[in-house]
Amino acid sequence: MIHEILPVGPLQCNCSILGDETSREAIVIDPGEEIPRILALLAKHSLTVKQIIITHAHIDHIAGAARLKRLTGAPVLYNQNDLPLVRMMDVQATWLGIPTPKVENPDDSLEDGKLIAIAGLTGSILHTPGHTEGSVCLYLPAQTLLFAGDTLFAGSVGRTDLPGGDTRKLLTSIHDRLLTLPDEVEVIPGHGPRTTIGSERSSNPFLI
């Protein structure tokens, strides 16, 4: 598997490119910004984007999605419970002091249990509300890899003070859906360094 992580934009959202070496098909996760850099990496690996997955509709994760879709033709998928956040993209833009990006409705909603498959790679969606109502994680069991969005970080958890945030739901999501995964699962958070389920289970101060 080809896996590139690029921190993009002012908040350094971890955008991931996941590609299959044989089929050259790819998934892009959270293209928040810097679409030219993402396209250059796709070209470098001769990858064709088949799906654009958004872990949640905060501006730093979703702002580049419509542009990447327009340039590649790939559908944009996110959970429909985050549509209220899409409706307030102008408010989100003022948080960062940037122009309001064009954000469209999802081509399909990422519901819990939904299978995400391209030729050579298969994952499933875990609905993990709390950071936002529509927050999801993508789990690839064969690669023991979890894309956690802003639900779980190395040594921390997602903030819940923004609209739609709910601390009790966040902790329930993490305990019931993420900490039940095997210790060796590698976690790629929405920001900052990677970690593992085992290390967060044993040492994350927010989860003890």
Q: Which stretch binds Zn ion (CB under 5 A): 39-47, 54-62, 137-145, 192-200?
A: 54-62
Q: How many residues bind Zn ion (CB under 5 A)?
A: 2
CB of 161 to Zn ion, least distance (A): 11
Query: Does the protein bind Zn ion through residue 200 (CB under 5 A)?
Result: no
Residue nearest to Zn ion (CB): 58
DSSP at 100: P
Residue 108 and residue 131 in contact, taking contact as beta carbons nearer than 8 Å: no
Query: Does the protein bind Zn ion through residue 33 (CB under 5 A)?
Result: no
Using DSSP's 3-state secondary structure scheme, residue 31 falls into coil
| Terminal-residue alpha carbon distance, the chain | 34
Query: Does the protein bind Zn ion through residue 82 (CB under 5 A)?
Result: no
In the complex with Zn ion, which residue's Cβ is closer, 50 or 58? 58
In the complex with Zn ion, which residue's Cβ is closer, 23 or 160? 160
Q: Which stretch binds Zn ion (CB under 5 A): 3-11, 58-66, 105-113, 196-204?
A: 58-66
CB of 113 to Zn ion, least distance (A): 22
CB of 203 to Zn ion, least distance (A): 23
Which H/E stretch holds residue 109?
Answer: strand 108-109
Using a 10 angstrom Cβ sphere, with 0-12 exposed, 13-18 middle and 19 or more buried, the burial of residue 79 is buried
Q: What is the DSSP string of 122-148?
A: EEEEEE-TTSSTT-EEEEEGGGTEEEE
Q: Residue 87: which residues within 8 A CB-CB, separation 6 or more?
A: none
Query: Does the protein bind Zn ion through residue 58 (CB under 5 A)?
Result: yes
Question: Among 4, 30, 150, 200, which residue sits at the site for Zn ion (rule: CB under 5 A)?
Answer: 150
Chain positions contacting Zn ion, by CB under 5 A: 58, 150
